[in-house]
C-alpha cells in the first residue's frame, strides 16, 4: 500500500530527529483500519496516545478500532478515559451510548447518557443536522426494534428535519424507522413525502415498495419495482436494495426459493 509507505517514511524521517508526527501516526492507523489490520492500527494509535496524551481524538479512534476488533472492554476503557477529563466530547459520548445500546441492553442508563449527549450537542453542535441524522440512524439500526429507542431516535430525526426540512434522506430515514416499528402505512406516506424533495433519490421509492410487500400488496410492489428496473437500464446499476426486494417478491408471489436465494446472495455481495 503506497499510502502506508508514505506515512511510514514521514515517521521514520522524523524519528531520526527525535520527533513524532501526530498526523502521520493517525494517517497510518487509518490506512491499517481500511486494510482491516486492526491490531496493528491499535498499536499505532497507542503510540499516538502516549506521545500526545492530551489529543483526545486519538483515544476515540483507538476505541473505534477496539470495537472493530471485538474488544469492547478496551474500547470502553478508552472512551471513559476521554470523558473523565472531557465531559463535552461528543464522539466519546456517542460511542458510550452505542455500547450501552448494543452490548449492555440497559435502556435506563442508555437514556440517561443519551440525554447528556443531546445536551452537549445542543450546546456545541446545535446547527449540525447531519450529526443528529447520523446519530439517530446509528442507534435505530442497533436497538433490536425496541419501541422506546425508536421513538427517541425519531425525536432526534425531528431535530435534523427542523434544521434541514427539505433533505430527502432525513425524511426517508423517518420512513425506515416507522417501518421498523411496523407502521408500514405511516412509513409509506413519509417515503412519498421524501420523493417530493428529490425525485432522483431512489431510497424512498425502494422503501415504498418494501411497505407494499409488507402490506401484502405484492402485485403493486412488483409493478413499481419493474419500473425502477427500467430506470436502472442494466443489472450492473441495480443497488443491493433492488435485489433484496426482488428476492421478497420472488418468494412471496412466485414461491421461487432458488431464485430468491440467488438474488439475496447478490444483495449481500453488493452490500458488503
Co-location of 60 and 115 in the same domain: no
In a domain, 73, yes or no: no
In a domain, 224, yes or no: yes
Question: Is-contact 39 59, C-beta < 8 A?
Answer: no
pLDDT at res. 10: 83
In a domain, 176, yes or no: no
pLDDT confidence of 227, banded at 50, 70, 90?
A: confident
For the segment 92-113, what is each residue's pLDDT rounded down to a tens digit?
A: 999 999 999 989 878 889 999 9
Co-location of 131 and 99 in the same domain: yes
Co-location of 224 and 268 in the same domain: yes
Looking at residue 214, which CATH number applies to its domain?
1.25.40
In a domain, 184, yes or no: no
The C-alpha cell that represents 122 in the structure block: 445542543
pLDDT over 70 (residue 232): no
How does 69-82 read in b/e, with b if 16+ C-beta sit within 10 Å?
bebeeebbebbebb
Co-location of 93 and 54 in the same domain: no
pTM for this model (two decimals): 0.89
Range of the domain at 202: 191-272
In a domain, 262, yes or no: yes
Q: Count how many domains the chain has.
A: 3
pLDDT over 60 (residue 235): no
For the segment 130-176, what is each residue's pLDDT rounded down to a tens digit?
A: 999 999 999 999 988 999 999 999 999 999 999 999 999 999 999 99
Amino acid at each position: 500500500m503506497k499510502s502506508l509507505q508514505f506515512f511510514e517514511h514521514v515517521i521514520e524521517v522524523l524519528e531520526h530527529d527525535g520527533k513524532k508526527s501526530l498526523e502521520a501516526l493517525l494517517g497510518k492507523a487509518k490506512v491499517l483500519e481500511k486494510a482491516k489490520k486492526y491490531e496493528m492500527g491499535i498499536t499505532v494509535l497507542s503510540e499516538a496516545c502516549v506521545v500526545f496524551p492530551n489529543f483526545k481524538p486519538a483515544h476515540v479512534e483507538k476505541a473505534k478500532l477496539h470495537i472493530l476488533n471485538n474488544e469492547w472492554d478496551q474500547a470502553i476503557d478508552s472512551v471513559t478515559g476521554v470523558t473523565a477529563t472531557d465531559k463535552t466530547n461528543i464522539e466519546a459520548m456517542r460511542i458510550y451510548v452505542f455500547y450501552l445500546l448494543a452490548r449492555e441492553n440497559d435502556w435506563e442508563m442508555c437514556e440517561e447518557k443519551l440525554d447528556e449527549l443531546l445536551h452537549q450537542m445542543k450546546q456545541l453542535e446545535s446547527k449540525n443536522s447531519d450529526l443528529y441524522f447520523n446519530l439517530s440512524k446509528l442507534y435505530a439500526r442497533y436497538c433490536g426494534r425496541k419501541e422506546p429507542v425508536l421513538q427517541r431516535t425519531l425525536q432526534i430525526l425531528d431535530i435534523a428535519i427542523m434544521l434541514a426540512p427539505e433533505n430527502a434522506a432525513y425524511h426517508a430515514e423517518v420512513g425506515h424507522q416507522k417501518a421498523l416499528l411496523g407502521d408500514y402505512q405511516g412509513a409509506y406516506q413519509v417515503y412519498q413525502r421524501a420523493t417530493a424533495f428529490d425525485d432522483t433519490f431512489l431510497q424512498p421509492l425502494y422503501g415504498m415498495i418494501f411497505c407494499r410487500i409488507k402490506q401484502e400488496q405484492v402485485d403493486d410492489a412488483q409493478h413499481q419495482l419493474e419500473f425502477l428496473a427500467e430506470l436502472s437500464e442494466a443489472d450492473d446499476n441495480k443497488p443491493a436494495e433492488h435485489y433484496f426486494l426482488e428476492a421478497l417478491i420472488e418468494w412471496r408471489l412466485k414461491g421461487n426459493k432458488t431464485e430468491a436465494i440467488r438474488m439475496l446472495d447478490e444483495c449481500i455481495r453488493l452490500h458488503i
